[in-house]
Structures are given as structure tokens and as C-alpha cells.
């Protein structure tokens, strides 16, 4: 099963391109799911079909889901929610509702990613397409498996401490509810699932990101930032889709000027992103809505080719061994050398900080306790060299 995540700045056409891709995948015979994670769902509008927070079939080989985190909380995460609720009340805090838990950061993406695992296990789909909210938020959500480790470890820590306090005060009244086995199991399931999600997200055979932009300065700048960020989090960007390109035969002075301006931006995109695969869709004259228009968009972007094709197969981060030295390569486009800071955290990790983003990379077992010999940055790749302990 292949997962394709569409992302980009607000209004560039993520939802339209995601819907067009899903439609074409289904037409090519792939069992396809399109899932919207954006709380301001517009996928239904784009398809011109009423969608819901449960999976609906909307055509041959094509299912859709507008993920609603409150609905997910009410129906799926019940044992943990009940426990957190009981815990809150025991602490004199008012009961917590599904609605309140739903605003915990990253919950929507976590729920979406758990669906991805579920689909992978059930082998229900060949392609899962995810339409996401505008850039900043999604990037934060995509790094969720990293952040969640920290969250869950803390939650586990608190629960374990409570259990040991309860043991010490055996016989006395304790007013902290003890988590049931079911709750402990659910927390442990979430932790295991998050580890699997991380693996799936970081394997380009399984998951890739496609960035949508327009030939304008702001979307280009934002796409450069997202690309760098996604590399830091080891997510594979496989192509760009430049949407709302003006056709060459526009009339009038105003449009001609716009066309000239667009040429400059097109060159800028190529200069910045080549050799990444770049695809295009023209600005349509009429409203882009409904299956017929989406089909037209799919023609513009993919022609006769299969949109489920994998355009890039290497992830931004990999290890190599050369002459007894182990090297970690990390692709870091659009980054200044001066903005990169490296820390050797514990024995088994290295932390990379770029501006206010920080990622801790776990080292393979063979490199635990290895000496870090040094690091270089050539404007494109960061290389960190290690020597194993004998
Ligand atoms: N190639 C195109 N030609 C004409 N209209 C387009 C094209 N692409 C997108 N649109 C229109 O632009 C608007 C924004 O598109 P869309 O909703 O797909 O963007 P988005 O990136 O998902 O937006 P948001 O960030 O709000 O989720 C919609 O009205 C859509 O119909
Ligand atoms: Mg959208």
C-alpha cells in the first residue's frame, strides 16, 4: 500500500490536486482511499459529493473519509478517554470531554496515521491519499511520531508512578484511580503503533510527500522551507506540482504582464528544485469543482501516466559504511551552514538543530558509544562521521 501526502501553502490547490489524483488512481484500477485531515474540510466541496466522518464509497475503486477528530475520540479512544476523565476528576479538575481531548496537539494526524496502519494491515487499499491543512500545521503534525514518543513516555511515567504510590499506601484510601489493564494496554498499543507509523512514514516505498505550489514568490519560499523541514524529519518529497499556471495564449496587457512575471517564478522554481520532478496544472477559466473538472485536472498533471507511480525512492537520511568509518548523510536543502547546530545527546543519538527546529536521530545499535569524528556541510548534504568502538 502506498500513501501519498499532499501539502502546501493555503489556497494553492492541495485539495483539488489530491482529489484529482485519487480519481485518476481509481480509474487506473487502484483501490483508492482519499482522506481529508483538514478540519475545514473542503474535499466534499471539491468532489461535489457529500462526505462524512465514516468511510463512504464514492465511485468504483474510490472511498473517501473526512476525518473528524471529535467523532474519533467519541468512538475509538474511549478507554483512554475514560481514564483521563477519571484522573481529572480525582484531581479536582472538571471532567474532560471528548471535545476537549480532541484539541490535544497532533491528535488529527495521529488518528489519520492510525487509519493508514489499519488500511495497511487490512490490505483494503492500494493507494491512500491524504489531503492536509496548510503547511505549518501539517509539518508539525507529521513530526508527531517523534513528539509523541516523548508524550507517551511521560504518560507512561506518570501512570507507573501512580501505581507505585498506590502500592505504598496499600490499605489506605487512595483517591487516584488506577488505570485498568485495558488502559495500560491501550497506551502500550498507541506507543507501538506510533513506532510503526514512524517506520511507514520514513520509508519512501510506503509514504511520500507531494508539495503543491503556485508560480508566485510566497508559495515558492514556503515550499523551500517545508522541503528542508521534511528532509530533517526524514520524509521523502517526491515531486512538486505547480498549480494555477497561466496558459501562454492569455489576452490583454494585464494578463501578459502576469505571464512575464510567472516566467521569472518558473525559472526560480527550476533553479531551486531541479532535479526534483516537477508537474504542472493550468489555471482553469471555470470553477474547479466536481468529478469532470477533476478529471481534466488529472489529465493536465499526469497525462496518461499512473499517478500512483513512485517518483523518488531515496529518503533524505541514510547511513553508509566506508573504510571502517560510518557516515550519516542528511539532505539539507536551502539551509545555511551557520544555522546548523549538532549535539551528541546520549550515547545512542545525535540531535540536529536548525533555527527553532530540532530533531533527534537515533543511531543504529552498531553506533551506540561510537566516537563522533566530525561533520561537514557542502551546501546540500550534511555528513556526520562516526568511528565504532572496538
Ligand atoms: N488549476 C486551477 N484552476 C482553477 N481553479 C483552481 C485550480 N486549482 C484550484 N482552484 C481553485 O482554487 C481554490 C483553492 O483550491 P483548493 O481548495 O484545492 O486549495 P487548498 O490548497 O486545498 O486550500 P486550503 O489551504 O484552504 O485547504 C478552490 O476554489 C479551487 O476550486
Ligand atoms: Mg484544502
Q: Both 118 and 55 in a single domain?
A: yes
Q: Both 178 and 263 in a single domain?
A: no
Q: Both 203 and 187 in a single domain?
A: no
**Alpha carbon distance 351, 305 (integer Å):** 40
Which atom number of ligand 1 is nearest to the Cα of residue 286?
4
**Backbone torsions φ then ψ of 376, nearest 5 degrees:** -135, 155
- Give the closest ligand to the alpha carbon of residue 212: 1
Hey, whose CA ends up nearest to atom 31 of ligand 1?
A: 288
Nearest alpha carbon to residue 284 among 46, 50, 63, 62: 46
**Alpha carbon distance 144, 135 (integer Å):** 14
Q: Which grid cell sits at 231?
A: 528532509
Q: Both 119 and 223 in a single domain?
A: yes
pLDDT band at 49 (very low <50, low <70, confident <90, very high): very high
Render pLDDT for 224-250 as a digit per residue (tens, 0 to 9). Answer: 989 988 898 889 999 999 999 999 888
Which atom number of ligand 1 is nearest to the Cα of residue 133?
27
Q: What is the 244 CA–ligand 1 centroid distance (Å)?
A: 9
Q: What is the 296 CA–ligand 1 centroid distance (Å)?
A: 14
Q: Say what the pLDDT of residue 173 is.
A: 47
Q: Which of 135-144, 187-196, 327-336 has the lowest mean pLDDT?
A: 135-144
Q: What is the 22 CA–ligand 1 centroid distance (Å)?
A: 16
Hey, whose CA ends up nearest to atom 16 of ligand 1?
A: 13
| Residue 244 and residue 9 in contact, taking contact as beta carbons nearer than 8 Å | no
Nearest alpha carbon to residue 5 among 232, 230, 244, 290: 230
Q: Both 280 and 157 in a single domain?
A: no
**Backbone torsions φ then ψ of 243, nearest 5 degrees:** -105, 160
| Residue 107 and residue 101 in contact, taking contact as beta carbons nearer than 8 Å | yes
| Residue 145 and residue 113 in contact, taking contact as beta carbons nearer than 8 Å | yes
> For the stretch 24-55, what's the b/e string if a residue is b when 16 or more beta carbons lie within 10 angstroms of its beta carbon?
bbbbbebbbbbbbbbeebebbebbebebebeb
- Choosing from 259, 274, 302, the residue where a domain stops is 302
Render pLDDT for 165-177 as a digit per residue (tens, 0 to 9). Answer: 655 555 454 555 6
- Give the closest ligand to the alpha carbon of residue 17: 1
What's the 3-state SS for 310-331?
CCCCCCCEEEEEECCEEEEEEE
Mutation probe of ligand 1 site: the residue of 13, 22, 279 with most atoms within 8 A of C-beta? 13
Which atom number of ligand 1 is nearest to the Cα of residue 300?
1
Hey, whose CA ends up nearest to atom 15 of ligand 1?
A: 13
**Alpha carbon distance 47, 60 (integer Å):** 14
Q: Both 170 and 285 in a single domain?
A: no
Q: What does the pLDDT average to over 155-160?
A: 62
Task: State how far the alpha carbon of 267 is from the alpha carbons of 228, 238, 273, in Å.
Answer: 20, 19, 10
Q: Both 153 and 223 in a single domain?
A: no
pLDDT at 92 over 60: no
**Element (H or E) spanning 182, and its range?**
helix 181-202
pLDDT at 9 over 50: yes
Q: Both 17 and 166 in a single domain?
A: no
User: Which has the higher per-residue pLDDT, 38 or 121?
Assistant: 121
CATH code of 18's domain: 3.40.50.300
- Across the chain, mean pLDDT equals 84
Q: What is the 134 CA–ligand 2 centroid distance (Å)?
A: 7
> What is the pTM (predicted TM-score) of this model?
0.86
Nearest alpha carbon to residue 1 among 112, 142, 116: 116
Q: Is residue 167 part of a domain?
A: yes
Pairing assessment for the beta strands 237-245 and 277-282 based on DSSP bridges: parallel
3-state secondary structure of 353: strand
Handedness of CA 57, 55, 196, 69 (dihedral sign): positive
Q: Is residue 308 part of a domain?
A: no
Q: Say what the pLDDT of residue 358 is.
A: 80
Q: Is residue 284 part of a domain?
A: yes
| Residue 347 and residue 387 in contact, taking contact as beta carbons nearer than 8 Å | no
| Residue 322 and residue 303 in contact, taking contact as beta carbons nearer than 8 Å | no
**Element (H or E) spanning 224, and its range?**
helix 217-232
Q: Which grid cell sits at 75?
A: 468512538
Task: State how far the alpha carbon of 163 is from the alpha carbons of 85, 159, 179, in Å.
Answer: 17, 6, 8
Q: Which grid cell sits at 35?
A: 482522506
Q: Both 164 and 221 in a single domain?
A: no
Q: Both 260 and 246 in a single domain?
A: yes
Q: Is residue 309 part of a domain?
A: no
- Ligand 1 environment, Cβ below 6 A: 8, 10-16, 38, 42, 46, 134, 243-244, 281, 283-284, 287-289
Q: Both 124 and 236 in a single domain?
A: yes
Q: Is residue 117 part of a domain?
A: yes
Percentage of residues of the chain with pLDDT beyond 90: 46
pLDDT at 329 over 90: yes
For residue 275, give its domain range: 2-71+105-141+199-302
pLDDT at 271 over 60: yes
Q: What is the 68 CA–ligand 2 centroid distance (Å)?
A: 15
pLDDT at 95 over 70: no
Q: Which grid cell sits at 176?
A: 487516584
**Alpha carbon distance 273, 265 (integer Å):** 12
Q: What is the 11 CA–ligand 1 centroid distance (Å)?
A: 5
Q: Strand runs (DSSP E) across the chain, as ranges?
A: 2-8, 32-36, 56-59, 62-66, 127-131, 207-213, 237-245, 277-282, 317-322, 325-331, 340-343, 349-354, 357-362, 371-377, 381-387
| Residue 289 and residue 15 in contact, taking contact as beta carbons nearer than 8 Å | no
Q: Both 39 and 113 in a single domain?
A: yes
Q: Which of 259-273, 308-322, 346-360 has the lowest mean pLDDT?
A: 346-360
pLDDT band at 1 (very low <50, low <70, confident <90, very high): very high
Amino acid at each position: 500500500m502506498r500513501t501519498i501526502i499532499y501539502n502546501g501553502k493555503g489556497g494553492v490547490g492541495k485539495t483539488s490536486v489530491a482529489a484529482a489524483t485519487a480519481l485518476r488512481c481509481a480509474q487506473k484500477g487502484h483501490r483508492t482511499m482519499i482522506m481529508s485531515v483538514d478540519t475545514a474540510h473542503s474535499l466534499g466541496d471539491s468532489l461535489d459529493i457529500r462526505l462524512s466522518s465514516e468511510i463512504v464509497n464514492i465511485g468504483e475503486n474510490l472511498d473517501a473519509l473526512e476525518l473528524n477528530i471529535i467523532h474519533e475520540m467519541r468512538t475509538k479512544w474511549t478507554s483512554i478517554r475514560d481514564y483521563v476523565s477519571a484522573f481529572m476528576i480525582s484531581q479536582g479538575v472538571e471532567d474532560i470531554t471528548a471535545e476537549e481531548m480532541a484539541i490535544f496537539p497532533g491528535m488529527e494526524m495521529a488518528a489519520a496515521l492510525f487509519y493508514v496502519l489499519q488500511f495497511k494491515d487490512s490490505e483494503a487499499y492500494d493507494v491512500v491519499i491524504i489531503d492536509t491543512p496548510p503547511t505549518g500545521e501539517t509539518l508539525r503534525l507529521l513530526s508527531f511520531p517523534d513528539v509523541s514518543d516523548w508524550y507517551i513516555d511521560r504518560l507512561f511515567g506518570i501512570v507507573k508512578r501512580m501505581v507505585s504510590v498506590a502500592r505504598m499506601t496499600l490499605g489506605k484510601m487512595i483517591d487516584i484511580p488506577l488505570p485498568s489493564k485495558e488502559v495500560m494496554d491501550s497506551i502500550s498499543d498507541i506507543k507501538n503503533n506510533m513506532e510503526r507509523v514512524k517506520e511507514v512514514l520514513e520509508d519512501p516505498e510506503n509514504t511520500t510527500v507531494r508539495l503543491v505550489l503556485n508560480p508566485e514568490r510566497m508559495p515558492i519560499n514556503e515550499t523551500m522551507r517545508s522541503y528542508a523541514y521534511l528532509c530533517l524529519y526524514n520524509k521523502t518529497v517526491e515531486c512538486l506540482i505547480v498549480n494555477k499556471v497561466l496558459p501562454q495564449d492569455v489576452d490583454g496587457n494585464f494578463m501578459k504582464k502576469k505571464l512575464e512575471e510567472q516566467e521569472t517564478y518558473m525559472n526560480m522554481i527550476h533553479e531551486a528544485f531541479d532535479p526534483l520532478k516537477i508537474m504542472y496544472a493550468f489555471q482553469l477559466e471555470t470553477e474547479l469543482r466536481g468529478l469532470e473538472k477533476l478529471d481534466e485536472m488529472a489529465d493536465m498533471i499526469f497525462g496518461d501516466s499512473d499517478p500512483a507511480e513512485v517518483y523518488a525512492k531515496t529518503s533524505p537520511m541514510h547511513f553508509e559504511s566506508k573504510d571502517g568509518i560510518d557516515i550519516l548523510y542528511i539532505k539539507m536543502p536551502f539551509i545555511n551552514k551557520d544555522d546548523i547546530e549538532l549535539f551528541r545527546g546520549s550515547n545512542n543519538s545525535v540531535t540536529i538543530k536548525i533555527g527553532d527546529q530540532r530533531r533527534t536521530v537515533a543511531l543504529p545499535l552498531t553506533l551506540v558509544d561510537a566516537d563522533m569524528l566530525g561533520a561537514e556541510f557542502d551546501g546540500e548534504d550534511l555528513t556526520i562521521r562516526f568511528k565504532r568502538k572496538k
